[in-house]
Structure 1
Amino acid sequence: MIKAVMRWCLNNPLLVVIASLVVIVAGVLSILSIPLEALPDISPTQVIVKTSYPGQAPQIIQDQITYPLETTLQEVPGAKAVRGYSMFGDSYVYVLFKGGTPIYQARNLVLQYLNQAQGQLPAGVTPALGPNSSGVDWIYEYALTDPGGSLNLAQLTTLQNWFLKFALQGIPGVAQVATVGGMEQEYQVVVFPNRLLAYNLTLPQVEAAIRAANGETSGSVVDMGESRYIVRTSGYIHSLKDLQQTPLGVRDGVPVTLQQVARVQLGPVLPSGIAE
């Protein structure tokens, strides 16, 4: 048999060369089309539900959020396991589906059952779906630095969150861009209790005044000739000075502003439930 094959090959060299070239081309195309991954995704389809309840202990989170969500999401069609984790201020529920379940179908099913569970949660608490990614998706990390030293940590964080993040989220295949580290700034109001007593004010009054001062109010329109003018008041806080001039009340005919009873400053964002 082997002698016959060798004799045929020697008698038909052109056909042997053509067959060899066809095999080589087919092999190269097969290698290029094989999906190769450094970390193959063998994890089941999963959907993450995150719920924030700032300032609450893990036991409260478990009783009022995690447990109601777990019992409701166990009824999701195709779900084979529901795992909940409660921690300070946050609840995480992982819904694992049977193999082959499309991720978008799984997310739609979980979203439908979350709407049913909303009535069992505390007022003002709304669960949200996590990023559209699997358990082994990770991650390209990069460090944003300024070797020249012209930008501080807060400015670098602002550049990351308001420019680079949105550009990277538009890349196909990117599910989420998360910022780790840095320093986010916020307006902070440090109230002096003695001054509140002196002006006969309470902390809830100060909080309500700040909320009322940071807002827009729209009215109607005024037609003048062929033009139409929109009537509205502009009240968004854009600077420390705007916040300092927030009116809290009137004493002896003189307005009392926020800067008279508190120190207004820029500072790092504090974790949920932690006050200065």
Structure 2
Amino acid sequence: MNFSAWSIRNPVAPLLAFFLFLLLGYQSFNALPITRFPNIDVPLVSVTVAQSGAAPVEMETQITKEIEDAVAGITGVKNVTSSVTDGLSTTAVEFQMEVPTEQAVQDVKDAVDQIRGDLPGDIEAPIVTRIDVEGGAILTYAVQAPNLTMEEISWFVDDTVTRSLQGRPGIGRVTRIGGADREIRVELDPVKLDSYGVIAQQVSEQIAATNTNLGAGKISLGTGEQA
């Protein structure tokens, strides 16, 4: 039986089925749960190794390269990336989506343990942890202004950009990465400290004890209030 020919001769039944499926699809779409940060299980594992006083070149050749070679042979590894700074090596291992995160973490731990004897003896114990991508940044933008200083750019992002984006529909959080944070620098005079019999630690403790934020309350101005 030719279904197409039958549908042309009897259009009522196909139209009713079409609208029925359309209604069911609309109801199913509205019933889908929506969360700001959905629970996404992405198998990402981080390996962090610290060695006090080691230069980046030494970290790369003696530690990072060894770890990359060890984890590259694990089944299901998709990508391996590393970053090296003074005294710190961080390697991120990305697995295929079908690999369970717990298994990925355990496989990386086993691989690092096997080469532990090949790493320098004065390093701190390697830290193998899962990289949690839930709640991470969805979009990242870079801000550049040749005519502004680093402090001015940071203040512009905090005072103008962040305030403009916060509260917009669909935006949960805005965070600045990098730049400069406002701070007060206290320079001590060793001669005066010695004359008063005070050490630098006492000054630091006194500043920490008096550096508190207290609410000033609110005042009424006409028909409104100001905090």
| TM norm structure 2 | 0.45
Larger relative contact order (CA 8 Å, sep ≥ 6): 2
Q: Larger radius of gyration, structure 1 or 2?
A: 1
| TM norm structure 1 | 0.39
